[in-house]
């Protein structure tokens, strides 16, 4: 008989790691990560006996002027049978309301074929995760994988291994090298980065069980870094950074290749480049040489690794308080 209860972190992570649609944004560690930065979290799960058969990790963020919270489900919820959706949504809504949610934002993620409107959701005016990505097939041997890339990327990988660069998995003592390069990369490519403590906490929570941080060092200079996280058959290239020095040595290509090798050893079949401009491939290919704003600056690097451009199911909202939700949408329009 199905019953609803709050799972332990261990029970929940076991379910996420073994579910075909499991994602790192649903791991208990991600709840801990976000709870240190203005969010809180809760979990609901459907149990059949002692086995979880469905559930969701829900994040909560306070709205301005003490108007309650925004509830948010990133890359969940998940069930093992479609008949469980109704029961799960009842549990999710009850949980969200208990945390004072004015509305629930849901981003189902990739490869999701259900229609959210059947459960009362409407398309959201705001997305939190990048909706489009480049997914690389990393099955086969090294030659097969590299044949899926463009010629320039293959050449740069070879060059990255001809310059006496040391590639290695970082220890906690190496984190300042990474955070310094994140700041440099953010300034160079005009995007925001987190404070060093954010990355320190992520390392503590995710490495080594779910993630690895790769660094490239040459004659005492740290040149590039790659933070990769894996769940199930997919690894995600979550953060990348590079120095302004010795860029001709192509260390950024070396750390990416090291991360792909790590993912393969963990049994991953796919490597998610995590965020490209939200345009179709034809538009991407026409414009990438002339644009550097937003995700365009990193698309030039990512496109060379091959793969398929895919789009998530987007963002969807379920409203509990219509007045507050209308104010939220108005604020978004003013801000944009």
pLDDT at 193: 85
- Per-residue pLDDT, averaged over 121-138, amounts to 96
Cα–Cα distance for residue pair 111/81, rounded to 1 Å: 16
Residue 304 tokens, joined: 């060379």
160-189 pLDDT per residue, tens:
999 899 999 999 999 999 999 999 888 887
The total domain count for the chain is: 2
Cα–Cα distance for residue pair 169/177, rounded to 1 Å: 12
36-73 pLDDT per residue, tens:
999 999 999 999 999 999 999 999 999 998 999 999 99
73-90 pLDDT per residue, tens:
999 999 999 999 999 999
141 and 80, same structural domain?
no
Find tokens 């953010």 and name the residue. Answer: 186
119 and 226, same structural domain?
no
Query: Could you count the other beta carbons within 10 Å of the beta carbon of residue 276?
Result: 25
Query: Could you count the other beta carbons within 10 Å of the beta carbon of residue 321?
Result: 17
Q: What is the DSSP string of 135-169?
A: EEE--S-HHHHHHTS-HHHHHHHHHHTSS--EEEE
CATH number at 47 reads 3.40.630.30
Residue 62 three-state SS: strand
Q: How many H helices and E strands in the chain?
A: 11, 15
How, if at all, do strands 234-242 and 270-272 pair? parallel
R_g of the chain, CA atoms, integer Å = 21
Query: Could you count the other beta carbons within 10 Å of the beta carbon of residue 173?
Result: 7
* pLDDT(281) > 70: yes
- Which is more confidently placed, 291 or 253? 253
Residues of the domain holding 237: 132-311
152 and 185, same structural domain?
yes
95 and 15, same structural domain?
yes
Q: What is the mean pLDDT of the chain?
A: 95
153 and 98, same structural domain?
no
Residue 72 sits at φ, ψ, to 5 deg, of -145, 130
- C-alpha angle with apex 172: 170 to 174, nearest 5 degrees? 55
143 and 25, same structural domain?
no
* pLDDT(125) > 90: yes
139 and 90, same structural domain?
no
pLDDT at 2: 82
pLDDT at 1: 67
Handedness of CA 181, 185, 187, 193 (dihedral sign): negative
Of 227, 296, 276, residue with least CA distance to 255: 227
- Per-residue pLDDT, averaged over 324-334, amounts to 94
227 and 321, same structural domain?
no
Cα–Cα distance for residue pair 131/224, rounded to 1 Å: 26
For residue 297, name the pLDDT band (cuts at 50, 70, 90). confident
261 and 136, same structural domain?
yes
Q: What share of the chain is helix, strand, coil (3-state, %, to 5)?
A: 40, 25, 30
117 and 37, same structural domain?
yes
For residue 306, name the pLDDT band (cuts at 50, 70, 90). very high
* pLDDT(298) > 90: no
277 and 159, same structural domain?
yes
- pTM of the complete model: 0.94
Question: DSSP code of 232?
Answer: T
Question: DSSP code of 212?
Answer: E
* pLDDT(115) > 90: yes
148-168 pLDDT per residue, tens:
999 999 999 999 999 899 999
Nearest-10 Cα torsion for 71, 22, 133, 224: 100
* pLDDT(122) > 70: yes
184 and 60, same structural domain?
no
Cα–Cα distance for residue pair 311/270, rounded to 1 Å: 15
210 touches 17 (CB < 8 A): no
221-247 pLDDT per residue, tens:
999 999 999 999 999 999 999 999 999
Residue 77 preceded by cis peptide, ω within 30: yes
């Amino acid at each position: 008989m199905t019953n609803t209860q709050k799972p332990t972190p261990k029970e929940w992570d076991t379910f996420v790691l073994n579910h075909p649609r499991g994602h790192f944004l649903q791991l208990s560690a991600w709840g801990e990560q976000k709870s240190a930065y203005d969010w809180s979290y809760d979990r609901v799960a459907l149990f059949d006996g002692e086995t979880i058969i469905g559930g969701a990790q829900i994040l909560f963020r306070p709205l301005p002027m003490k108007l309650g919270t925004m509830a948010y489900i990133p890359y969940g919820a998940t069930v093992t049978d479609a008949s469980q959706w109704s029961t799960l949504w009842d549990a999710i809504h009850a949980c969200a309301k208990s945390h004072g949610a004015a509305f629930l934002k849901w981003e189902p993620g990739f490869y999701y074929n259900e229609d959210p409107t059947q459960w009362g959701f409407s398309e959201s005016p705001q997305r939190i995760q990048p909706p489009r990505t480049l997914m690389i097939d990393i099955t086969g041997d090294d030659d097969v994988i590299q044949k899926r890339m463009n010629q320039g990327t293959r050449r740069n990988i070879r060059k990255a291994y001809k310059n006496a660069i040391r590639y290695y998995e970082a220890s906690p003592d190496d984190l300042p090298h990474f955070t310094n390069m994140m700041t440099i990369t953010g300034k160079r490519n005009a995007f925001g980065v987190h404070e060093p403590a954010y990355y320190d906490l992520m390392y503590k929570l995710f490495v080594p069980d779910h993630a690895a941080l790769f660094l490239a060092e040459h004659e005492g200079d740290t040149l590039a870094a790659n933070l990769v996280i894996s769940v199930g058959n997919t690894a995600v290239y979550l953060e990348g950074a590079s120095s302004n020095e010795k860029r001709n040595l192509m260390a950024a290509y070396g750390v990416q290749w090291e991360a792909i090798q790590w993912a393969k050893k963990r049994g991953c079949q796919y490597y998610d480049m995590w965020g490209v401009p939200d345009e179709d491939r034809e538009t991407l290919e026409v414009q990438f040489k002339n644009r550097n704003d937003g995700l365009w600056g990193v698309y030039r690097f990512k496109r060379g690794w091959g793969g398929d451009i895919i789009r998530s199911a987007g963002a969807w909202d379920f409203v509990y308080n219509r007045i507050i939700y209308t104010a939220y949408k108005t604020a978004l329009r003013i801000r944009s």
